[in-house]
Structure 1
Amino acid sequence: MASRTNVVGIDLGNSKTTIAVARNRAIDVIVNEVSNRSTPSLVSFGERSRFLGEAAKSQEASNFRNTVGSLKRLAGRKFNDPEVQEIESKFITAPLVEVDGLVGAKVNYLGEEAAFSSTQIIAAYLTKIKTTTEAELKGPVSDVVISVPAWFTNVQRQAVLDAAHIAGLNPLRLMNDNAAAALTYGITKNDLPEPENPRKVAIVDIGHSNYSVSIVAFSQGQFHIKSTVCDRHFGSRNMDKALIDHFAAEFKGKYKIDVLSNPKATFRLATAVERLKKVLSANASAPLNVEMIMNDIDASSFIKREDFEKLIEPLLNRVHLPLEQALKEAGVTKEEIDSIEVVGGCTRVPSLKEKISEFFGKPLSFTLNQDEAIARGCALSCAILSPVFRVRDFHVHDITTYPITFSWEAVPENPDEETSLEVFSLNNPIPSTKILTFYRKAPFTVTATYSHPEQLPGNITAELGKFEIGDVKPTESGDLSIVKVKVRLNLHGILQVEQAYVVEEQEVEEPVEPAPTAEGEEKKDEPVKTRKVKKLVKVADLPIKAVTETLPAEVFNKYLEAEGNMIETDKLVAETLDRKNALEEYIYDTRAKLDDIYAPFASEDEKTKLKGMLMDAEDWLYDEGEDTTKAVYIAKLEDLMRIGGPIRQRYLDDEEAKRQKIQAEREAAMAKLKAQADAKKKKEDAARAKAPTGKFEEGTGGRAPPPPPPQEETIEDQEMTNADETQ
């Protein structure tokens, strides 16, 4: 690959996010400010600023009421959605409210109660991801590919796009998780078969909150996803919940405390349970210890792996359902599957791996990095889409999870016309374009809906939008006009009604292909012949008025302005803290050096005055200076440096003088050695020139010639020797 810009892949996870970038002819996963290869998907609001990612995680325990997680589960959802109320609210510690028609969180921010929509919160987190990436790459970041679950609907995908744009990102594609993992798998394989006999691979992704299965056909330079099936409520957080309920019941009897009635105690137990589950993945048993869980009680317990597996048995009993459905929709049997590639952090649970392996009757494959495969696939996709990258030619053929139907009202002039059509069927490729034909005399409206509303998450509306086609008129003869409507599922998997236009049947001239000449016959130059044919020709574009569940422009602009203001607030707070730390560091550093390395360079008056100023500054810093402005910290530091600066400069000047003296001595010594070497060489050259020439063998450079080669004894010589001996 050769790059002139940064292209980035973002695996937007429910518990953590991984960032990958195409650079140095490879895909690298970048680390955050604490050198972790993934960043917690958390946004926290504080008294002075926001805390994003690692910062939110570090103070989550003390600020859990103002911390929001499970970000992508809230994308595009409404507050009254039953899944939000009954499921998601159990995994989010901040109170949920309605904001601008969307679900949001009520928090305390800058000392006041505030409410932010899910789109704003996701945008805040993506701002952090952008900042982290730019810090690592030391350059601006814009073009990205972001992963989303395959079960995301139109409105959920649009919400992620809106959040990304608010954060200053340019998403080239929203990519389904499994498609990203498939791209990581396929693009590195040099042994893929011909398209006639593709390699069939099951890609199983089980993460924090979602379980998805894709059946993928790989062949040279491409892959086709044949089916994707998801269980939206199956993941590591559900296993954590089973453990939390188990230990809460145990502590109720053991310690007489109701952990679930206390949000802080529940949070502490959840944190301990997450660690315990990871220990159980590699050990037969694990202890649980929670200090000061509630009522000053230190709770402890113990669990075996088999007991844990009994707790999650309801989940394990559902493992086969998405696998069976995916095979059915793809039209293949489990015996035809060549490989089972497993990704996602939850697939480290031994019993889960056993269940999947038992279903297929084959061992699982772990050639993909379980935590990073999706981010790497997104980065590869971004590089493929970016015009400034050169990537191995590899075609991605993804599919839509939900079929889409278009409907319209019949007109009296065409009573036999159908009034609905499933335009994009189940597993329809994306991107994909279809053209619908209508016969009309007046403006009309088409409505797009999901064909099976019962399959949608929660109460997400089945209607994708209404599209009014305007300026439709009868033909000059008063007949019905022929109207073409172009509809498209774009790269993001979002429905668009791109174009509407009127066509008329007209006679046009087209060239006639000349008859082929016989073999050996000379081709004659003849005038090009034409013929008149009737064709449908576009004669007018029509306006389209769309009514969809997208974020209104005024609300988007409000969010954009608010995010900009919060970024500035965060920046000011960070800079203020930096100046405060610089002042504190200067106080302690200068005081320590004043009686040490700075001592010879300061008079007693200077030392006394500076020590007094340092003492006063320290007292002020931990009293009224605990919380002040950036300008005040800068002024205090400058006051100290007016006295301490000259002392430090004298020390540095002395160090520089010493360095220069050492450098001069070193150079003098080197010059002396060089002079001695030159003199020695000159003396040797002179002695060589005076030596008599007869003492040197010609052609040997003054050395003795080599001894002559030994004479070979011939057969005749040997016979003569034998004869002499006989005599």
Structure 2
Amino acid sequence: MATVGIDLGNAYSRVGVWINDDVEIIVNKWGNRTTPSYVAFTDTGILIGELAKNQIYRNPYNTVFDIYRLIGRNYNDSNIQLNLKHWPFRVIEKNEKPYVCIKYKGEEKDFAPEEILSMILVEMKETAETFLSTQVKNIVITVPSCFNHSQRQAVKVAGLIAGLNVIRIIVGSTAASIAYGLNKITTREKCIVLIIDLGGGTCNVSLLDIRNEIYEVMAVSGNNHLGGKDFDNRLVNHFVQEFKSKFKKDLSSNERALCHLREHCERAKCILSTSTHAFIEIAYLFEDINFYTSLTRTKFEELNQDLFQPIMKLIEKVFQDSEINKNHVGEVVLVGGSTRIPKIQRMISEFFNYKELNKSINLDEAAVYGATVQAAILSGKFSGKLRDFLLLDATALSLGIETLGGTFMPFVKRNTIIPAKKSEIISTNFDDQPNILIRVYEGERTQTRDNNFLGKFELSGIHPAPKDVPQIEVAFTIDANGILIVSAVDKSTDRSSEITIEGRLSKEEIEHMVTKTKKYHAERCKVL
């Protein structure tokens, strides 16, 4: 039974395995090392990857993508509401959670984001199993650095639904540092490395101290609503207006036309990384109208300038959090397809006083390389290159509790190396208070209403006493897998209570999704 690494991207996914003391990136059934993160529902079955993406023009309302922008969020999340206008598929609210609503075999069906993600994971699992001729059960999977606890737990649930055991979640940019370190660092001296990972849907930044094969994460920052697809959307909006101006026709309500235009905008964006001009020619884009236009690199940069600027803010943030001077950075490593954009490279280089940027590792495969290395280590492979390797990961967000007045009291600060345990003594707010309700949150805001609620539990049976007298020890314990246990102990009686923070879905909901997904997978196999 094999263990593999999966880079599950918002736009594309990849899978790798450790063979012969090195990483092997596995090609899919179409001979490609990347698989589009798309799922399509048709009258005959379910399509995943290339087949799903290639038919989006014919079936835009039932083709799902951008799943990382949905998973682990509430329906009313501002990021989801912002994306609704860009998605051709419907997203509805069920129990405050987002569900994708599609038509499958003539019937309307609702799918949780975890279910959609599980289908992509099944595709990656089967790709690996075909190559290895053995069953794959355990995986290490990448996520954006800004994913909160709920989102990470949702990814684990997706793995469970897919019949997989997610043994470790690793930040994509941190995983990329492993690819850089194993292949480039030849000295055993200290080296501070900044990894900037800008992909199709997210921007992740990791600052690491690499020394003696020990990779210590000093700080991470990220934005899971910033990437190549956001640049594409700017181009789509621009050309929708141009089309309207030229032909007095509005494309914005025609999803098929928008899908065609979006594909050509993506191509133009890629061309502009190596050329100063790109041409767009789309026959019969809308009502038999041929659309021919062009785009300069300067215009592309102008349309996206306000999206490029937040990248620099994320870089500044890791230096603020780590209290490291940017001049102490030995290497600035670029990862992710969107770092090919010349303007972004110039902005980063200027920030580091025109330092030469490191583009030596494969921009598209660095994250899956690192995930695969971590998978190999966790499965017990310590020979060769991996003999002395150790990754010390860190928390992405602060963890704490709510105190009187809705104030957030942090226990585990963001960028704390994990595993970690932190405890504090709290007390009652009122005389003779018999119990305390512990409400657990994560985030950086001073008021809990602005942070992410994780769960709650109660410690009861507190002996009558004036307020502030009882000594209640609250402890946060977080392991290397990000599993969080919060406990409370009354020091005078040893009476205790605790909670293990799970995902948003109940066990019953997860079991239902597992059964449901097996059924759809069986139907898909019949079609294929």
TM-score between the two structures when normalised by the length of structure 1: 0.67
Alignment of 1:24-39 (within 5 A): 24-39=20-35
- 1:288 positional shift: 0.4
Say if 2:367 is the partner of 1:374. Answer: yes
- 1:157 positional shift: 0.9
CA contact (8 A) 2:461 2:495 kept: no
- TM-superposition CA deviations, 1:585-607 (whole Å, max 9, x none): xxxxxxxxxxxxxxxxxxxxxxx
CA contact (8 A) 1:472 1:542 kept: no
Say if 2:91 is the partner of 1:96. Answer: yes
Distance 1:455 1:225, change over 3 A: farther
CA contact (8 A) 1:98 1:117 kept: no
Find the aligned partners of 1:393 and 1:321 in 2 and give their Cα distance: 34
Find the aligned partners of 1:141 and 1:117 in 2 and give their Cα distance: 24
Distance 1:408 1:134, change over 3 A: same
Say if 2:239 is the partner of 1:285. Answer: no
Same amino acid, percent of matched pairs:
31
Query: Aligned match of 2:314 in 322, 327, 334?
Result: 322
CA contact (8 A) 1:102 1:118 kept: no
For residue 260 of structure 1, give the secondary structure of its aligned residue in structure 2. Answer: coil
Match of 2:458 in 1: 468
CA contact (8 A) 2:485 2:499 kept: no
Show structure 1 runs of 5+ residues with no match: 411-418, 475-479, 505-538, 575-727
- TM-superposition CA deviations, 1:390-432 (whole Å, max 9, x none): 432222122222212234679xxxxxxxx97421113211221
Say if 2:288 is the partner of 1:296. Answer: yes
- 1:547 positional shift: 7.9
Find the aligned partners of 1:276 and 1:75 in 2 and give their Cα distance: 29
- 1:177 positional shift: 1.3
For residue 222 of structure 2, give the secondary structure of its aligned residue in structure 1. Answer: strand
Q: Which has the higher strand share?
A: 2
Alignment of 1:262-281 (within 5 A): 262-281=254-273
Find the aligned partners of 2:127 and 2:503 in 1 and give their Cα distance: 32
For residue 233 of structure 1, give the secondary structure of its aligned residue in structure 2. Answer: coil
C-alpha root-mean-square deviation of aligned residues, in Å? 2.8
Query: Aligned match of 1:144 in 129, 132, 139?
Result: 139
Show structure 2 runs of 5+ residues with no match: none
Say if 2:521 is the partner of 1:567. Answer: yes
CA contact (8 A) 1:225 1:397 kept: yes
Query: Aligned match of 1:206 in 198, 210, 220?
Result: 198
Match of 2:485 in 1: 496
For residue 300 of structure 1, give the secondary structure of its aligned residue in structure 2. Answer: strand
For residue 356 of structure 2, give the secondary structure of its aligned residue in structure 1. Answer: coil
Alignment of 1:280-679 (within 5 A): 280-360=272-352, 361-387=354-380, 390=383, 391-407=386-402, 421-437=409-425, 444-453=436-445, 462-469=452-459, 485-497=474-486, 542-544=496-498, 550-574=504-528
Query: Aligned match of 1:73 in 69, 72, 81?
Result: 69
Find the aligned partners of 1:245 and 1:295 in 2 and give their Cα distance: 19
CA contact (8 A) 2:221 2:318 kept: yes
- 1:444 positional shift: 3.6
Question: Which residue identity is paired with 1:308?
Answer: F
Find the aligned partners of 1:19 and 1:547 in 2 and give their Cα distance: 29
Q: Which has the higher helix share?
A: 1
CA contact (8 A) 1:206 1:345 kept: yes
Query: Aligned match of 1:63 in 54, 59, 65?
Result: 59
Distance 1:430 1:92, change over 3 A: farther
Find the aligned partners of 1:20 and 1:546 in 2 and give their Cα distance: 31
- TM-superposition CA deviations, 1:551-603 (whole Å, max 9, x none): 111111111111111112112233xxxxxxxxxxxxxxxxxxxxxxxxxxxxx
CA contact (8 A) 1:50 1:570 kept: yes
CA contact (8 A) 1:157 1:494 kept: no
For residue 7 of structure 1, give the secondary structure of its aligned residue in structure 2. Answer: strand
Identify the structure with bigger relative contact order (alpha carbons < 8 Å, sequence gap 6+): 2
Find the aligned partners of 1:486 and 1:321 in 2 and give their Cα distance: 33
Across the two proteins, how many residue pairs are aligned to each other?
517
Question: Which residue identity is paired with 1:464?
Answer: L
Distance 1:297 1:439, change over 3 A: closer
Question: Which residue identity is paired with 2:519?
Answer: N
Distance 1:153 1:338, change over 3 A: same
Structure 1 window deviating more from structure 2 (263-272 vs 180-189): it is: 180-189
- 1:84 positional shift: 0.6
Find the aligned partners of 1:438 and 1:386 in 2 and give their Cα distance: 41
Find the aligned partners of 1:371 and 1:32 in 2 and give their Cα distance: 16
Distance 1:454 1:252, change over 3 A: farther
Question: Which residue identity is paired with 2:176?
Answer: A
- TM-superposition CA deviations, 1:137-161 (whole Å, max 9, x none): 1110011111111111111111111
- TM-superposition CA deviations, 1:15-53 (whole Å, max 9, x none): 000111111221110011101101000111111211111
- TM-superposition CA deviations, 1:160-193 (whole Å, max 9, x none): 1111101011111111112111122223455344
Match of 1:12 in 2: 8
- 1:200 positional shift: 1.3
- TM-superposition CA deviations, 1:315-363 (whole Å, max 9, x none): 3344432222222222222222111100000011112111111111201
Question: Which residue identity is paired with 1:563?
Answer: T
For residue 171 of structure 1, give the secondary structure of its aligned residue in structure 2. Answer: strand
